[in-house]
């Protein structure tokens, strides 16, 4: 039985930024209300995988468990667009990545019973550093990429919660087979439907096994500093924005989707 994280709800953007910088993640309780959870669940449930868009739909027959991922989810249904800039969360994202930051991906992800535990990993290590260098208080590695998880279920150990190793981004490396960092073990996010967690790409984490009889519904939004490229497959100009959804987007949403003010290299 693994430990679960004490889920601390910070009240100000400043405290939330501090948590993300120090612990590697920050928790947003009740980011969605019950009606939004229900609506989002239904929207995600009806999305069909488009293989040309790099979506996946593995089934118990083909892979041993259901695994359905829908890329560029903001482009599928206008209901999904609003989740790229939820109030309070987007303020933290912009404080971390800058006011010109953008969305680099959005994935609707459904994982069914039988999904095995992932290895402890980082999503991306922007800046490998020797442990004595990163331990120097003058060294502060910027947060280049974050991922936001909206959980649409009440998480239990059986449903396969995400686990984090608090502070592990301060190791300057990936886990490389380690299963704890400075005594910190992977700890489960046992949160409720409608809660969200934002985490940096270099914190050690993993999705755990789904041993329940239920499908876990997760909506991910990936954010980054503007210089990190967006990842909207299929590439080579084959991805097309849905014009009807773009027409509904606010200025901020358009910027997050890539309507940048010209800068270096543009």
Ligand X SMILES: O=C(O)CCC(=O)C(=O)O
Does the protein bind ligand X through residue 113 (CB under 6 A)?
no
Closer of 164 and 249 to Fe ion (Cβ): 164
Does the protein bind ligand X through residue 157 (CB under 6 A)?
no
In whole angstroms, what is the distance from residue 248 CA to residue 266 CA? 26
Does the protein bind ligand X through residue 112 (CB under 6 A)?
no
Residue 21 CB coordination number (10 Å): 17
Q: Under rule CB under 6 A, which residues in 197-256 are in contact with ligand X?
A: 205, 207
- 3-state SS of 78-142? HHHHHHHCCCCHHHHHHHHHCCCCEEEEEEEEEECCCCCCCCCECCCCCCCCCHHHHCCCCCCCC
Does the protein bind ligand X through residue 170 (CB under 6 A)?
no
Minimum distance from residue 138 beta carbon to ligand X (Å) = 30
Closer of 204 and 245 to ligand X (Cβ): 204
Does the protein bind ligand X through residue 158 (CB under 6 A)?
no
Does the protein bind Fe ion through residue 123 (CB under 5 A)?
yes
Minimum distance from residue 258 beta carbon to ligand X (Å) = 23
Strand 187-188 versus strand 3-4 pairing type: parallel
Does the protein bind Fe ion through residue 125 (CB under 5 A)?
no
Minimum distance from residue 25 beta carbon to ligand X (Å) = 11
In whole angstroms, what is the distance from residue 161 CA to residue 76 CA? 26
In whole angstroms, what is the distance from residue 38 CA to residue 177 CA? 38
Does the protein bind ligand X through residue 162 (CB under 6 A)?
yes
Closer of 97 and 205 to ligand X (Cβ): 205
Minimum distance from residue 250 beta carbon to Fe ion (Å) = 29
Does the protein bind Fe ion through residue 157 (CB under 5 A)?
no
Edge to edge, what strands does the sheet with 216-224 contain? 25-28, 196-200, 145-151, 216-224, 102-111, 67-70, 56-58
**Sequence-separated (6 or more) residues with CB below 8 Å from residue 170:** 134, 135
Does the protein bind Fe ion through residue 36 (CB under 5 A)?
no
Closer of 47 and 253 to ligand X (Cβ): 47
What is the CA angle 69-3-90, rounded to 5? Answer: 50
Give contact residues for ligand X (rule: CB under 6 A).
Answer: 123, 162, 205, 207
Give contact residues for Fe ion (rule: CB under 5 A).
Answer: 123
């Amino acid at each position: 039985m693994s430990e679960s994280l004490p889920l601390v709800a910070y009240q100000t953007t400043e405290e939330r930024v501090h948590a993300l910088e120090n612990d590697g993640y920050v928790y947003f309780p009740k980011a969605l209300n019950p009606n939004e959870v229900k609506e989002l669940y239904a929207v995600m449930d009806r999305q069909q995988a488009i293989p040309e868009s790099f979506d996946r739909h593995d089934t118990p027959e083909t892979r041993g468990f259901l695994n359905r991922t829908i890329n560029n989810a903001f482009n599928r249904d206008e209901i999904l667009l609003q989740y790229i800039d939820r109030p309070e969360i987007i303020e933290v994202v912009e404080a971390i990545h800058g006011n010109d930051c953008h969305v680099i991906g959005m994935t609707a992800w459904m994982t069914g019973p039988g999904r095995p535990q992932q290895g402890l990993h980082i999503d991306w290590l922007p800046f490998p550093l020797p442990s004595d260098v990163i331990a120097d208080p003058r060294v502060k590695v910027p947060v280049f990429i974050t991922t936001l998880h909206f959980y649409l279920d009440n998480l239990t150990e059986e449903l396969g919660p995400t686990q984090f190793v608090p502070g592990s981004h301060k190791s300057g490396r990936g886990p490389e087979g380690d299963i704890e960092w400075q005594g910190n073990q992977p700890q489960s996010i046992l949160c409720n439907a409608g809660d969200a967690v934002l985490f940096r790409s270099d914190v050690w984490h993993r999705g755990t096994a789904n041993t329940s009889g239920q499908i876990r519904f997760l909506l991910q939004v990936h954010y980054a500093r503007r210089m990190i490229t967006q990842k909207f497959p299929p590439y080579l100009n084959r991805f097309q924005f849905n014009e009807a959804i773009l027409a509904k987007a606010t200025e901020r949403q358009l910027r997050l989707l890539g309507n940048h003010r010209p800068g270096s290299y543009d």
